[in-house]
Amino acid sequence: MVAAVTDRGECHLVDFLEGLEGDLADDGSRMVAVLEQVASDGPRRDTQISRQIGPGLFEFRKGRIRIAWFYDEGTLVVCTHGFVKKTQKTPPAEIRKATSVHNRYFIDKRNGNIRFEE
Protein backbone atom coordinates (compact mmCIF):
# COMPACT_ATOMS: atom_id res chain seq x y z
CA MET A 1 0.00 0.00 0.00
CA VAL A 2 1.20 3.50 -0.83
CA ALA A 3 -0.08 7.04 -0.43
CA ALA A 4 0.07 9.60 -3.21
CA VAL A 5 2.48 12.51 -2.72
CA THR A 6 2.56 15.80 -4.62
CA ASP A 7 5.50 17.07 -6.67
CA ARG A 8 6.44 19.15 -3.60
CA GLY A 9 6.58 16.07 -1.37
CA GLU A 10 3.29 16.77 0.41
CA CYS A 11 1.14 13.81 1.42
CA HIS A 12 -2.47 14.88 1.82
CA LEU A 13 -3.35 11.60 3.53
CA VAL A 14 -0.69 11.91 6.24
CA ASP A 15 -1.51 15.60 6.75
CA PHE A 16 -5.21 14.73 7.09
CA LEU A 17 -4.66 11.93 9.62
CA GLU A 18 -2.21 13.97 11.69
CA GLY A 19 -4.62 16.92 11.77
CA LEU A 20 -7.58 15.02 13.26
CA GLU A 21 -8.69 16.13 16.73
CA GLY A 22 -11.21 15.05 19.37
CA ASP A 23 -13.59 12.25 18.39
CA LEU A 24 -12.20 12.33 14.87
CA ALA A 25 -8.74 11.49 16.23
CA ASP A 26 -10.22 8.27 17.66
CA ASP A 27 -11.72 7.41 14.25
CA GLY A 28 -8.35 8.28 12.72
CA SER A 29 -6.57 5.83 15.03
CA ARG A 30 -9.03 3.11 14.06
CA MET A 31 -8.48 4.00 10.39
CA VAL A 32 -4.72 3.62 10.80
CA ALA A 33 -5.40 0.10 12.16
CA VAL A 34 -7.48 -0.63 9.04
CA LEU A 35 -4.65 0.63 6.82
CA GLU A 36 -2.13 -1.54 8.66
CA GLN A 37 -4.38 -4.57 8.16
CA VAL A 38 -4.80 -3.77 4.46
CA ALA A 39 -1.03 -3.33 4.06
CA SER A 40 -0.41 -6.81 5.44
CA ASP A 41 -3.45 -8.73 4.13
CA GLY A 42 -4.90 -6.67 1.28
CA PRO A 43 -8.31 -5.01 1.27
CA ARG A 44 -11.12 -7.14 2.67
CA ARG A 45 -14.29 -7.60 0.66
CA ASP A 46 -16.29 -6.06 3.47
CA THR A 47 -18.64 -3.17 2.71
CA GLN A 48 -18.36 -2.02 6.33
CA ILE A 49 -14.67 -1.28 5.73
CA SER A 50 -14.51 -0.44 2.01
CA ARG A 51 -16.84 0.30 -0.86
CA GLN A 52 -16.70 1.54 -4.45
CA ILE A 53 -17.34 5.27 -4.94
CA GLY A 54 -16.68 5.58 -8.66
CA PRO A 55 -15.16 3.78 -11.64
CA GLY A 56 -12.01 2.17 -10.24
CA LEU A 57 -12.25 4.24 -7.05
CA PHE A 58 -12.98 3.02 -3.53
CA GLU A 59 -13.10 4.38 -0.01
CA PHE A 60 -12.00 2.89 3.27
CA ARG A 61 -14.52 3.67 6.00
CA LYS A 62 -14.12 3.98 9.74
CA GLY A 63 -16.58 6.11 11.69
CA ARG A 64 -16.84 9.40 9.80
CA ILE A 65 -13.34 9.08 8.34
CA ARG A 66 -12.94 8.11 4.70
CA ILE A 67 -9.83 7.45 2.66
CA ALA A 68 -10.14 7.34 -1.12
CA TRP A 69 -8.04 4.75 -2.95
CA PHE A 70 -7.57 2.74 -6.14
CA TYR A 71 -5.69 -0.32 -7.36
CA ASP A 72 -2.61 -0.34 -9.54
CA GLU A 73 -1.85 -3.62 -11.35
CA GLY A 74 -4.58 -5.36 -9.37
CA THR A 75 -2.69 -5.61 -6.08
CA LEU A 76 -1.09 -2.29 -5.15
CA VAL A 77 -3.44 -0.06 -3.14
CA VAL A 78 -2.84 3.66 -3.78
CA CYS A 79 -4.46 5.99 -1.23
CA THR A 80 -5.29 9.44 -2.60
CA HIS A 81 -6.51 11.46 0.38
CA GLY A 82 -8.71 11.42 3.46
CA PHE A 83 -11.84 13.34 4.34
CA VAL A 84 -14.59 13.53 6.93
CA LYS A 85 -17.92 12.34 5.59
CA LYS A 86 -20.74 14.63 6.70
CA THR A 87 -23.61 13.44 4.49
CA GLN A 88 -25.07 10.13 3.29
CA LYS A 89 -23.45 10.34 -0.15
CA THR A 90 -19.76 10.78 -0.83
CA PRO A 91 -19.31 14.44 -1.80
CA PRO A 92 -18.72 14.84 -5.56
CA ALA A 93 -15.72 17.10 -4.86
CA GLU A 94 -14.00 14.24 -3.00
CA ILE A 95 -14.66 11.86 -5.90
CA ARG A 96 -13.28 14.45 -8.34
CA LYS A 97 -10.15 14.86 -6.19
CA ALA A 98 -9.60 11.09 -6.08
CA THR A 99 -10.21 10.85 -9.84
CA SER A 100 -7.66 13.60 -10.47
CA VAL A 101 -5.01 11.82 -8.37
CA HIS A 102 -5.87 8.51 -10.09
CA ASN A 103 -5.48 10.02 -13.56
CA ARG A 104 -2.27 11.89 -12.66
CA TYR A 105 -0.79 8.73 -11.12
CA PHE A 106 -1.24 6.70 -14.29
CA ILE A 107 0.05 9.52 -16.51
CA ASP A 108 3.14 9.83 -14.32
CA LYS A 109 3.55 6.06 -14.26
CA ARG A 110 3.41 5.89 -18.08
CA ASN A 111 6.03 8.66 -18.23
CA GLY A 112 8.33 6.95 -15.71
CA ASN A 113 7.81 9.65 -13.09
CA ILE A 114 6.65 7.44 -10.20
CA ARG A 115 9.00 6.90 -7.24
CA PHE A 116 8.30 4.78 -4.20
CA GLU A 117 9.77 5.81 -0.86
CA GLU A 118 9.49 4.33 2.60
The 10s digit of each residue's pLDDT in 19-57 is 999 989 999 999 999 999 888 888 877 778 899 999 999
Delineate the domains of the chain, giving CATH numbers in brackets. 2-110 (3.30.2310.20)
- Can you give the pLDDT at residue 47? 77
pLDDT at 106 over 90: yes
The 10s digit of each residue's pLDDT in 68-91 is 999 998 788 999 999 999 888 899
Torsion angle defined by CA atoms of residues 112, 114, 116 and 117, in that order, rounded to the nearest 10 degrees: 120
- Can you give the pLDDT at residue 58? 94
Q: How far apart are CA 93 and CA 96, in angstroms?
A: 5
* DSSP of 16-33: HHHT--THHHHHHHHHHH
φ/ψ (deg, to 5) at 78: -110, 115
pLDDT at 17 over 90: yes
